[in-house]
Chain A
Amino acid sequence: MSNKKMITCFVEALGISEEDVVNTLEYNSIPQWDSVAHMQLIAALEEAFDIMLDTDDIIDMSSVAKARQILQKYDIGF
């Protein structure tokens, strides 16, 4: 459930397809995931999970795997 929600956020904010959202996908590794898209991703995640991310966590969120790990810190179960 949470995983699906998170993937949807990636798909919509970065404009990529679901298959592309794999654990190893990294920030700035594809043109679609630049700093502006990153902030759109953050906005999408905050809205979807009703949380407020710390700036450190936003900067840390450098891959899909990392995103899942950080979201867990905010009591989101996967």
Chain B
Amino acid sequence: MISIGIVSSFTISPFVKKFKDLCANEKIETNVFHATSYSLATDELLNEKSELHSFPPRILIIMIDLKSLIPDLWECPNKNSQDRSDLIFEKSEFLFHMISYYANKHPGTMIIMNNFEVPVYTPLGILDNKDDKGLSHFVRSLNQQLETHFKQSNQIFIYDFDRFLCWHGKKNTFDSRLYYIADMKLHQALYSDLSREYMVYIKCLIGKSKKCLVLDLDNTLWGGIVGEVGFDHIQLGPKPPGNVFLEVQRLILAWYQRGIILAINSRNNPEDIYPVFRKHPHMILKEHHFSAIRINWNDKSENLVEIAHELNISTDSMVFIDDDPYQCTLIRSVLPEIVTLQRPEDISLYPEMIMTIKEFNTLQLTNEDIIRSQSYVNERQRKTLKQTYKNQTDFLRSLDMELIIRKSSSYTLPRMAQLTQRTNQFNLTGIRYSVSELEALHQSQRFKLFSVQVKDKLGDSGIVGAAIIEINKTMDAVLNSFLLSCRALGRNIEQFFLQFIINQSVNWDIERVIGIYQSTDKNMQTRSFFSDNGFKFLMKNVHSTQWALPLSDLYSNYSFPDYIRLTYIDEKNT
């Protein structure tokens, strides 16, 4: 159950209903509270006795429209410049104060604040942009200040509501009858679209972002069937309709660059395909951009399952694009958890379809995102290498691994939060955290947070694991979260990381380390992790088991194998 608060300065109750319906459709249980009117909105945020303060929601959406903030908007251009800048200062300071006040009191609440609509009308007409008196300039600078003020915040997100209105055309987003009679500032036809915009944040927060884009080839990355028309006649290049595919490839490349894993799933003869990747002058995507490739005559759904297995991700983190309606229908019925998109019949609509895919959004962009795609390629090499060794130890020895374990710092928290949001398989408790929640734990004396980064001779995987430990009143160190990215599995890193924590724990004035396994849909493989590592069974609830390791049982510190280099960084000491 996710609690969501919506405060707005105008009538929004029909929107709230639509929003709840959409959440229900997505099987996201929500409890939505809303307050509508400018005075109610500000009161809810500032008054500590308000419902919003007594029951802080997980997500708070704030929609304040310009006319409520500045009722004499049309007079702004005619004020003298001192009055005008005073007004901007006063209003923006008020907003910053109000939002920060609430945010600081409730670090567990993620805040989404709409920016302001830049009006399409201005009393200055064609002179509006001739000097800094203009109304557009005035509103844009207010928006700019909002963005700048909260740029560094991991808790407060400014939603570009003005861009949303532009996308739909401001003339269509406003219904004058609804506005003047019922104070509804947004046309009802847009409620679903706006709901989907906020849904993006919710899905990121509950770990439902997609990670991998799987593509068909013929009529998906280029026009025509290469096996039939031949290399020279596929449609790809500056001339229509080849220019559409060029644009699509550019859009996909940009996703690769921000860390989306790409894969190919095509029914074809490989010998027809590889020349296109290697020699076609207009191919933007190359073989090395793809982390898994299936070009064969097998069932496409089987290929998808294999790709997921090869990449160590689950099928529900995939988006699949194909032009064939039969294949799309088939995949949708066999693997409904995959978002399957059919290329539009009208080719000119194809780039827009790509641009409106929202599933790849994440709340943070970390260094690991940038290197992710490359690290999957490294992982492919690692698997090949592993087959040449008879046993695991020899393989590990050959890798020349370095583990860098860090005590949490502002540098590692965003990545750690992202790991809790994205890691499903090797995640002992499955608890999701936002950065601001982790920040609160990081500040607390009771919690210890560690991350682990791994490098080996094939490359740097970045920070791939996180552990959150709570020291409780009964002198136990409880592993509230322990997780490792699927890209890092198979190198015993989880075991080394746990042993490191146990070694550290002897300095914490505790008696036992307690491990919790909380079963989720996907973390079966971790259920014996604690018993495999010397913990004793302690107790069992419906969905969880607890395991204990009394420190008195330890004869000496665990010593790491000689083929591992371990570096521990505690930022405070450096």
Q: How far is B180's CA from A42's CA once the two chains are assembled, in angstroms? A: 14
A contact residues around B182 at 8 Å (CB): 35-36, 38-39
**Residue pair B180, A55 in contact (C-beta under 8 Å):** yes
**Residue pair A55, B14 in contact (C-beta under 8 Å):** no
Q: B489 CB to closest chain A CB, in angstroms?
A: 53
Q: Is B178 an interface residue (CB 8 A)?
A: yes
**Residue pair B177, A36 in contact (C-beta under 8 Å):** no
Q: Is B181 an interface residue (CB 8 A)?
A: yes
Interface 1/0 per residue, A21-61 and B, CB below 8 Å: 00000000000000110111011000000000001001100
B contact residues around A43 at 8 Å (CB): 188
**Residue pair B14, A35 in contact (C-beta under 8 Å):** no
Q: How far is B178's CA from A59's CA once the two chains are assembled, in angstroms? A: 11
User: Please, how many residues of chain B have a CB less than 8 angstroms from a CB on the other chain?
Assistant: 11
B residues 178-214 with Cβ under 8 Å of A?
178, 180-184, 188
Q: How far is B175's CA from A42's CA once the two chains are assembled, in angstroms? A: 13
Q: How far is B181's CA from A55's CA once the two chains are assembled, in angstroms? A: 8
B residues 510-528 with Cβ under 8 Å of A?
none
A contact residues around B11 at 8 Å (CB): 35-36
Q: Is B367 an interface residue (CB 8 A)?
A: no
A contact residues around B13 at 8 Å (CB): 36
B contact residues around A38 at 8 Å (CB): 181-182
Q: B282 CB to closest chain A CB, in angstroms?
A: 50
Q: How far is B14's CA from A40's CA once the two chains are assembled, in angstroms? A: 9
**Residue pair B183, A55 in contact (C-beta under 8 Å):** no
**Residue pair B184, A58 in contact (C-beta under 8 Å):** no
Q: How far is B216's CA from A8's CA once the two chains are assembled, in angstroms? A: 50
Known contacts A36-B13, A40-B14; A55 and B184 CB within 8 A of each other: no
Q: B448 CB to closest chain A CB, in angstroms?
A: 51
**Residue pair A35, B177 in contact (C-beta under 8 Å):** no
Q: Which residue of B lies closest to A35 (CB)?
A: B182
Q: How far is B188's CA from A53's CA once the two chains are assembled, in angstroms? A: 17
Q: A7 CB to closest chain B CB, in angstroms?
A: 22
Q: Which residue of A lies closest to B188 (CB)?
A: A43
Q: How far is B177's CA from A58's CA once the two chains are assembled, in angstroms? A: 9
Q: Which residue of A lies closest to B11 (CB)?
A: A36
**Residue pair B181, A59 in contact (C-beta under 8 Å):** yes
Q: How far is B435's CA from A6's CA once the two chains are assembled, in angstroms? A: 53
Q: Can you spell out 7 A-B residue pairs with CB atoms less than 8 angstroms apart?
A: A36-B11, A38-B182, A39-B178, A39-B181, A39-B182, A39-B184, A55-B177
